[in-house]
Structure 1
Amino acid sequence: MNKTKKMNIFSLGIQHVLAMYAGAILVPLLVGRALNLTAEQLAYLVSIDLLTCGIATWLQARKGKVLGIGLPAVLGSSFVAVTPMIAIGNQYGIPAIYGSIIAAGLFIMICATFFSKIVKLFPPVVIGTVVTIIGLALIPTGIRNMAGGSGSEDFGGLSHLALSFGVLIFILILHRYARGFVKSLAVLLGIIAGTLVAVLMGKVNVAPVLEASWFRLPQPFYFGWPTFEFGPILTMIIVGMVVIIESTGVFMALGKICDQPVTDKDLARGYRAEGLAFVLGGIFNAFPYNTFAQNVGLVQLSRVKTTNVVVAAGGILVFLGLIPKIAAFATIIPSAVLGGATVVLFGMVVSSGVKMLQSVDFSKQSNLLIVACSVSLGLGVTAVPDLFAQLPQAIRIIVSDGIITGSLSAILLNVFFNLGIKKESIPLQSSPSQANEAHS
């Protein structure tokens, strides 16, 4: 491979990293702040997340006999896991989070072949409903951040609102007037611009950046040895199933773009790679991982379909993950800035779900009931988290999360109404954690 070709691959790899970077750092920031981690712990969480994103991308890019789908897919931390991780951490402690992630990853790897055979049980009515519920359940988190974040002394203060709405307006302006790749970076550029304005307003403490080291190797079980609790494990297995559903749509879309038909065996290898990424996330105290749809848009835009590009992107992510000082920059982003950006990201998750539902035949009353009941239960539990307060704790941890409750409802109701009836084909649109897809 000549030097020019290597540089082209490297530059395209950087583009993939930039396209997914905002989504990749938001998950550790949201979870870490909700669990009241210190600045040092939060910097580690961002660093290890980037590093594991890179390794997970490598696992998926290769096409082996057992794992890896061999498509130009980039993996990142899943938004689906945000509220379950916070709930598990608050009720059982942080080690239980990672015990459940490891267990869920092993479950996915063991059952990958089975899941590839039953993928037709997840038609557009299920996928679209699940995606919509994910977005709707996450929006309150973004709104609280717009006001300064939960626990803020001046919650709802004018400076917070001005900063968050300024970021939101800036992102919308970029979407209206920017073109091509710059448009795809609207959210990331909005976060950067908002943070710079916050520096001028005196709202940014740069001490964590100055104190962070330049190099650090990943440390297994950074937050302590994992613990394995039944409720959290079952919750994370359900999260894993939702991740598989959303990744399936991305795999199908990439297969179509790259003229590579995706078979059941391909899906099984892809699921195993994501399961192994879960396990690595649990060992290194990172996150569950899934395929990012925003990068599918970049493959389509650049027309470069080789996996060499995402391998380069994975290498860049690993490099960034070894440098805590870079990760520390993410930790100083004010909550209000995150709020302005996440309103767009989470809102686009909802929009993606609605778009998927357009292909559903709503002349069938059963489809209307699937969407109606699932969205109602998902939003209901999100708005009234004490609904199941009297249930045993192991069960409560599962049903007290709106995303999990709504997703389970959609899956089970679809089986109830449509089992044995010809299913709709799986949509090729993007999937949930794809909030960034707004820009593609």
Structure 2
Amino acid sequence: MASHSVNKTQLEPTLMAQAHSDMPIHQRGPSHKATLRSAIAHARRKISTKHGWVGDYDYGYLCMPALPFMRQKQRSPPFYGLHDDLPLVVGMVTGLQHALTMLTGLITPPIIFANSLSLDEQTSTYMISASLISCGILSLVQMSRIHLFGRFYLGTGLLTIVGTSFATLSTATAVFNAMYADGTCPSTTNTDGSTTRGPCPDAYGKLLGTSLICSFFEIIISFFPARILRRIFPPLVTGTVILLVGASLVGESGIPNWGGGSNDCHNRPTTGIFQLCPTIFAPRPLPWASPEFIGLGFLSFVTIIFVEVFGSPFMKNISIIIGLAVGGIVAGATGYIEGSTIQSAPAITFLWVYRFKIGVYPPAILPMLAVYISLIMEAIGDTTASAEASRLAVEGPDFDSRIQGGVLSDGIGGFFSALFTVTPLSTFIENNGIIVITRCANRGAGRWCCVFLVLFGVFGKISGVFLAIPKSVLGGVTTFLFANIAASGLRVLAYTKFTRRERFILAAALSFGFGDLLAPGIFTHLFDGVDNPSRGLQGLFNSITIVLETPFLSAGIVASLLNVIVPREVADDDELTLDDKEAQTYAENQ
């Protein structure tokens, strides 16, 4: 129960209805109609009373900034658990905070995809809207707890919200590079030897089709016992993958955009439209890494730090979106923003306003299967963190069913997200921090978050505003965002007791991961010596090359394999202190 005082007469009908909804269907008795009537009566009372609207939540705690030289009152709001009676305003406010926290993470992948494939503004705007809408819809599925049969469920039943997975970005970059290299996508060679890529929306359609097929892999894996999944993917493996996902994105997108653009202008060609960043047609185009671009990105970065030092809990949770707003305002005032993207964006939009030709790119199948393995790792870790933040048990049959339901929902979400023209989704770990700070783990807040995400996507002008933000501002913000992902990977690795065995596995995995990061392209010519390979064999070679050239995929595969085959040493356990053994037990439970 929550630590705050709540009228039990008002609370009982809701608890009965929510507990009843979590109960397996075959166990529901004939009293479900009476329970439904009680829930309706409770909803009427909530709408018509002050307590139902505002409750006893401390809104000052959430909104008051930590100004210098001001004495801060030590206080915290009541904790709203999974089944507690949540006031409407609290649900709206915390739901909005969840949505704003996710916003930058949801708009970044479609912007990067569109940029990589040289897509036009209308298509890019639609991709942003589709990401927001689909994440809002499919988050409702992930937060559900629908009993299927036996011990199997769909969804975690927790405040777990899904967003476009960053794990797909690095893999998609390698896949798109392969498509341009083998002629699937058009490109032209300039007089100075540089290459200019043409628009290739079909490449995105092939990525969606391949993702749709590979989603069945995660759906099948979700029916494996949760203890086996946690055994195969311990914190040593998941932490390594998350660390390298973040580090890869910093180098592939964050820093290049901070300099002005991650497109062809990054190479400073002497001819063509990418002589200047982001293109020569921009309002104020400049060479890549010009001080003006660096300064705009740095302003956004410093704003994030300033908010973290002086901001209220609400502001700290949305510091990235505040940094984006400050950088965008300054960029607009100094002439770096072109209003055409906002003007051309539709006022109202929805899914399938723009459609992609769905196809399958065979060389991408193997890499996408590896991506779904990483999504399984994320689902396990994030569901554990959500349960912990919600003050629920992180072991036992109930918790195992939440792990199974979360992985299954992720797999089904990957299938439907492809139909929604969006790449695979994963549970966002950022939302767990909001649960801790706001002390609200109620799914009502999550449902409000879904409402806001869908509304942000439906109003197309919002997507146009995000698309108009200069790449340098976006880069300054996303560099921090991606580095934060890498830091999350380090936090997961910290749960591991680093015996000789664990150090060996981590070193072997990072040999591939860091090698790909610091010397990209080392595996590009791996199969150049094979004369006249068949089309199928060439596709296999391309698949292997994509996996080897993607840092988190190669490192994750090495870590997973070694974790299974390298024997555990009995001497390692004997060397542990009591505190170390407790830490190891906790890590194994994760």
TM-score (norm 2): 0.69
Q: Does 1:33 align with 2:115?
A: yes
Q: Structure 1 residues 345, 427: CA separation in 2 closer, same or farther (over 3 Å shift)?
A: farther
Secondary structure at 2:521's aligned position in 1?
Answer: coil
Shift of 1:258: 2.5
Query: After the TM superposition, which residues 123-162 of structure 1 pair with which residues of structure 2 at under 5 Å, given as runs?
Result: 123-140=234-251, 141-150=253-262, 151-152=264-265, 153=276, 154-162=287-295
Gaps of 5+ in 1: 430-440
Shift of 1:310: 0.6
Shift of 1:195: 0.8
Q: Alignment partner for residue 16 of structure 1, among 81, 98, 102?
A: 98
1:90 & 1:96 partners in 2: Cα distance?
Answer: 13
The answer (yes or no) to whether the contact 1:381–1:387 under 8 Å persists in 2 is yes
Greater fraction helix:
1
Equivalent pairs counted in the alignment come to 427
Query: After the TM superposition, which residues 362-381 of structure 1 pair with which residues of structure 2 at under 5 Å, given as runs?
Result: 362=498, 364-381=499-516
Corresponding residue of 2:344: 211
The answer (yes or no) to whether the contact 2:97–2:318 under 8 Å persists in 1 is no
2:136 & 2:519 partners in 1: Cα distance?
Answer: 38
Query: Percent of aligned positions with the same letter in both sequences?
Result: 25
Shift of 1:233: 1.9
RCO greater where, 1 or 2, for CA within 8 Å and sep 6 or more? 1
Gaps of 5+ in 2: 1-42, 48-52, 54-86, 149-153, 180-202, 266-275, 277-286, 528-540, 574-583
Query: After the TM superposition, which residues 42-57 of structure 1 pair with which residues of structure 2 at under 5 Å, given as runs?
Result: 42-57=124-139
Q: Alignment partner for residue 317 of structure 2, among 184, 194, 200?
A: 184
Q: Does 1:415 align with 2:551?
A: no
Shift of 1:314: 1.0
Supply the AA of the counterpart residue of 1:371: L
1:19 & 1:287 partners in 2: Cα distance?
Answer: 20
Q: Deviations over 1:278-326 (max 9, x none)?
A: 1122112212111111111111222222212111211221222222211
Shift of 1:246: 1.8
Supply the AA of the counterpart residue of 1:100: T
The answer (yes or no) to whether the contact 2:259–2:294 under 8 Å persists in 1 is yes
Stretch of structure 1 that moved more, 282-291 or 87-96: 87-96
The answer (yes or no) to whether the contact 2:129–2:350 under 8 Å persists in 1 is no
The answer (yes or no) to whether the contact 1:385–1:401 under 8 Å persists in 2 is no
Shift of 1:125: 1.6
Shift of 1:161: 0.8
Q: Does 1:91 align with 2:91?
A: no
Q: Deviations over 1:231-251 (max 9, x none)?
A: 312211211111221221121
The answer (yes or no) to whether the contact 2:370–2:553 under 8 Å persists in 1 is yes
Corresponding residue of 1:382: 517
1:223 & 1:80 partners in 2: Cα distance?
Answer: 21
Q: Does 1:110 align with 2:242?
A: no
Q: Structure 1 residues 221, 424: CA separation in 2 closer, same or farther (over 3 Å shift)?
A: farther
Corresponding residue of 2:25: none
Q: Alignment partner for residue 372 of structure 2, among 233, 236, 240?
A: 240
Q: Alignment partner for residue 308 of structure 2, among 146, 154, 175?
A: 175
Q: Alignment partner for residue 388 of structure 2, among 256, 261, 273?
A: 256
Provide runs of 4+ in structure 1 moved above 4 Å. Answer: 418-429
Shift of 1:425: 4.8
The answer (yes or no) to whether the contact 2:348–2:460 under 8 Å persists in 1 is yes
Q: Structure 1 residues 173, 412: CA separation in 2 closer, same or farther (over 3 Å shift)?
A: same
| Structure showing greater Rg | 2
Secondary structure at 1:65's aligned position in 2?
Answer: strand
TM-score (norm 1): 0.91
Corresponding residue of 1:398: 547
Supply the AA of the counterpart residue of 2:107: I
The answer (yes or no) to whether the contact 2:379–2:403 under 8 Å persists in 1 is no
Corresponding residue of 2:538: none
2:496 & 2:90 partners in 1: Cα distance?
Answer: 41
Q: Does 1:266 align with 2:376?
A: no
Secondary structure at 2:566's aligned position in 1?
Answer: helix
Supply the AA of the counterpart residue of 1:241: I
Superposed CA RMSD:
2.1
